[in-house]
Amino acid sequence: MSSNKSSFIFSLSTVLTLSFIVLLVLVIAFISIFVYRVSTAVFINNYSKELLNSYRAFSNMPQRGIMGSPGFMGGWRNQQLYESLFIQIEDTIVKDNDEIGLQEFAKGPRITNEDGRTYLLYGLIENGEKLIIGTHMLEYEVFLSALKKTLTMGILLAIFLSMAFGIIMGRRLAKPLKEISYALQDTILTDLSKRIEMNSRVKEIYDLKEALNRALNKIEGAYRRQEQFSSDVAHEIRSPLTSIVGFSRLISRWGIKDPDIVSEAAKNITEIAESMITLTESLLFLAKPDLKPEFSAVNLKKALDEVLSLLSFSENTEIKVRLPGIIVMTDEKLIQLVFKILLENSIKHAPGKPIEILWENETSTLIFKDYGPGIPEKDKEKIFQRFYKVDSSRTGSGYGLGLSILKKITDVLGLTLRVDTPETGGTMFFLGGWNEVHSMRG
C-alpha cells in the first residue's frame, strides 16, 4: 500500500511545471478561440459586404437579367471573388466554377465546406426570388492555417517556458522547505534543543518555521518533563521501597512470634504506601503539559474558610484571618489547592505558632505569614524547584513538591508569587495580580 501511495507523490518543481503548462495552454486556447471567433465574424462581415456590394453594382447596371448581362463581370470589384463566384437563383445554378453543387436556401451569411475548401454563402430574396451568392474564402483559409501554426508554436513555447519557470521557481521554493525538513530531522534524531534557523522573505515559509519551532518547544518540554518525571520517581521511591522491603522481611522473620511487630510493620508499610501515592499524584500533577483553569467569580474568604475547615491544626495553632469579601475571577479548585499548600507548609515548618492570612488593600495582595525559622536568602529562588528542601530547621517529612505545585498553579492562574523573610522572623508568601470583580472591604 505504501508503494502505491508514494508513486503519486510529486516534487514541487513537477507540480509547478505541470500547473504552469496547464495554465498557459488554457490561456493560449482561450485567446485562440477568442481570436478565431472574432476573426471569423470579421471575415464573414467583409465577404458579405463584398458580395452584396458587387451584386448591387451589377443589379443597377442596364441589363436584361443576370445571366445575359455583358457587364456582369465588370460589376464585381474583385477579380478573385468573381472567378470563384457562385450564383443560384431558386433551384437553378447560374454560375459555379468550383462545382460546389446545388445549395439549400438559408437567409443571411453562412460558411460551408466543400471538398476541403471553405465557402461563404449568402442567401437573400431578390424580386421575389430566392438568391444565393457565394465565393471561396481563400484569405480565411490562409488565416486559419496561420492560426493553427501559431497555436501549435504557442503551446510548444508555453510548455518550454513552463518547464523552465517551474524548475527554477520550484527549486527556489523547495530549497527553504528542504532546509526545514533536514533541520527538523536532525533536531528529532540528535538534539531536541536545536531549532530551525533560516531566513526567508516568503511569509508562509517564515510562518511554517515559527510554527515548527513552537511545536519543537512543546515537544522538548514534554520530553524533558517525562525525563524529569522518570528520574524523580526513580530517585524518590528508592528509599520508601527499601523500607517496605525491610518491614516485609521483619514480618516474615519475627511476625509469627511477635504480633506487635506485625502490627507496627504493617502500620509503617501503610504510611509509606500512602506517602508514595501522594508523591505519585504530585508528580503527575506537575507533569501535566497543559493545565487549563476554569475561571469563575470566586469569593476568596469563602474559599479559604472551606480549606480551613478541612485541615487539622494543633490546639496551640492560632489562625488569624483578616480577609474581606474579595471576589476575583479565578479557578476555585486550584486556588483552594494554593491555600492548602501554603497552610500545610506553615503548619509543618512552624508547628504550634500563629498563622496570619491578610489582605493588603493598596497592592491587592494576599499574604500568608508564619513565625517559623524563615528561609535563607540563598534558598528563596530554589524552594520552588522539585524535591528541593531547605536544610537545617526546615527539613522534615514530605518530598519537597508542594511549593513546586504552588508555583505551577500561580503561573497558570496568572498570579505573582513572592516569598520574603522579615527581620522579625518567619516566612511571608505574597500572592498578587488578582483580577478583582467586586470587593466588600471593611
Whether 266 and 390 map to the same domain: the answer is: no
User: Is 182 part of any domain?
Assistant: no
Q: Judging by beta carbons within 10 Å of its beta carbon (0-12, 13-18, 19+), is residue 38 exposed, middle or buried? A: exposed
| Full-model pTM | 0.49
Phi and psi based region of residue 355 (left: phi greater than 0; alpha: psi -120 to 50; beta: remaining): beta
Give me the pLDDT at residue 69, please: 44
Instruction: Report the candidate in 290, 320, 310, 300 with the shortest Cα–Cα distance to residue 408.
Output: 290
302 and 419 together in one domain? yes
In a domain, 377, yes or no: yes
151 and 64 housed in the same domain: yes
Query: What backbone torsions phi and psi does residue 438 show, to the nearest 5 degrees?
Result: -160, 150
Tell me which residue range forms the domain holding 434.
Answer: 296-438
Q: Is residue 204 part of a domain?
A: no
Q: Are residues 27 and 139 in the same domain?
A: yes
Are residues 362 and 283 both part of a single domain?
Answer: no
Q: Are residues 255 and 318 in the same domain?
A: no
362 lies in some domain: yes
User: Within this chain, do residues 123 and 248 fall inside the same structural domain, yes or no?
Assistant: no
Same domain, 309 and 326: yes
Would you say residue 31 lies in a domain? yes
DSSP state of 107: B
Name the strand (E) or helix (H) holding 304.
helix 300-310
Question: Could you give the CA distance from residue 271 to residue 20 in angstroms, rounded to a whole number?
Answer: 74
For residue 154, the one-letter residue type is G
What is the per-residue pLDDT for 359? 93
Tell me the pLDDT of the chain (442 aa) as tens digits: 444 444 566 676 777 777 777 887 788 888 878 888 888 888 888 878 877 776 665 555 454 444 444 444 444 445 566 667 788 888 888 877 777 888 888 888 888 888 888 888 888 888 888 888 888 887 888 888 888 888 788 778 878 887 788 778 777 777 777 777 777 777 766 777 777 777 767 677 778 888 888 888 888 877 777 777 677 667 667 778 888 888 888 888 877 777 888 888 888 888 888 878 877 777 777 777 677 889 999 999 999 999 988 877 766 778 899 998 889 999 999 999 999 989 988 888 888 888 999 999 889 999 999 988 888 877 777 777 777 666 544 445 556 678 888 888 899 899 999 999 887 788 999 999 998 766 655 4
CATH number of the domain that 338 lies in? 3.30.565.10
**330 and 281, same domain (yes or no):** no
Give 333-385 as a DSSP string.
Answer: HHHHHHHHHHHHHHHHHSTTS-EEEEEETTTTEEEEEE-SS---GGGTTTTTS
The per-residue pLDDT for 82 is 62
Q: Are residues 327 and 396 in the same domain?
A: yes
Do 144 and 264 share a structural domain?
no
Last residue of a domain, which of 227, 262, 287? Answer: 287
Pair 151, 14 in one domain: yes
Number of domains in the chain: 3
Number of Cβ atoms within 10 Å of the Cβ of 403: 20
- Answer whether 307's CB lies under 8 Å from 344's CB: no
User: With b meaning 16 or more CB within 10 Å and e meaning fewer, what string describes 327-344?
Assistant: bbebbbebbbbbbbbbbe
Residue 221 lies in a domain: no
